[in-house]
Amino acid sequence: MFKRILALLFAINLILIVIAFSADHERGFIVRFFDVGQGDAIYIRTEKKQDILIDGGPDDTVLSKLGEAMPFYDRDIDILIISHPHADHITGALAVLKQYRVKTVYFSGAEHTTYQYLELLRFLEEQKEIVKVKVDHPINLQLSGETALSFLYPDFDVSSPLAPSFIKNNLNNTSVVVKLTHKGHSALLTGDIGKEVEEYMLLQGVDVSAHLLKIAHQGSRFSSGEPFLRAVHPQFVVIFVGQNNYGHPHAETLDRLRSLGIKFLRTDKEGDIEFSLE
Ligand SMILES: [Zn+2]
Alpha helices in 70-194 (DSSP H): 87-99, 115-126
- Between β-strands 236-239 and 263-266, what pairing exists: parallel, antiparallel or unpaired? parallel
The Cα–Cα gap between 110 and 160 comes to 10
Write the DSSP string, 17-61: E---BTT---SSEEEEE---SSS--EEEE-TT--EEEE---SSTH
Q: What is the 3 state secondary structure string of 218-268? A: HHCCCCCCHHHHHHHCCCEEEECCCCCCCCCCCHHHHHHHHHCCCEEEEHH
Distance 191 CA to ligand 1 centre (A): 7
Distance 86 CA to ligand 1 centre (A): 5
The Cα–Cα gap between 217 and 248 comes to 9
Distance 146 CA to ligand 1 centre (A): 31
pLDDT of residue 16: 36
Distance 171 CA to ligand 1 centre (A): 7
Distance 52 CA to ligand 1 centre (A): 20
Domain 28-277 fold is: Metallo-beta-lactamase; Chain A (3.60.15)
Distance 172 CA to ligand 1 centre (A): 5
Q: Give the pTM.
A: 0.90
Residues with CB under 5 A from ligand 1 (ion): 86, 172, 192
The Cα–Cα gap between 154 and 173 comes to 9
Distance 85 CA to ligand 1 centre (A): 7
Distance 137 CA to ligand 1 centre (A): 21
Distance 259 CA to ligand 1 centre (A): 26
pLDDT of residue 26: 59
Peptide bond into 71 cis (omega under 30): no
Distance 195 CA to ligand 1 centre (A): 14
pLDDT of residue 18: 36
Distance 134 CA to ligand 1 centre (A): 18
Sequence spans of domains, the chain: 28-277
Distance 71 CA to ligand 1 centre (A): 31
Q: Is the dihedral of CA 247, 235, 39, 25 positive or negative?
A: positive
pLDDT of residue 25: 54
Each of the 278 residues of the chain gets a pLDDT tens digit; together they read 333 443 333 333 334 333 333 344 556 899 999 999 999 999 999 999 999 999 999 999 999 999 999 999 999 999 999 999 999 999 999 999 999 999 999 999 999 999 999 999 999 999 999 999 999 999 999 999 999 999 999 999 999 999 999 999 899 999 999 999 999 999 999 999 999 999 999 999 999 999 999 999 999 999 999 999 999 999 999 999 998 878 899 999 999 999 999 999 999 999 999 998 76
Distance 91 CA to ligand 1 centre (A): 12
Distance 170 CA to ligand 1 centre (A): 9
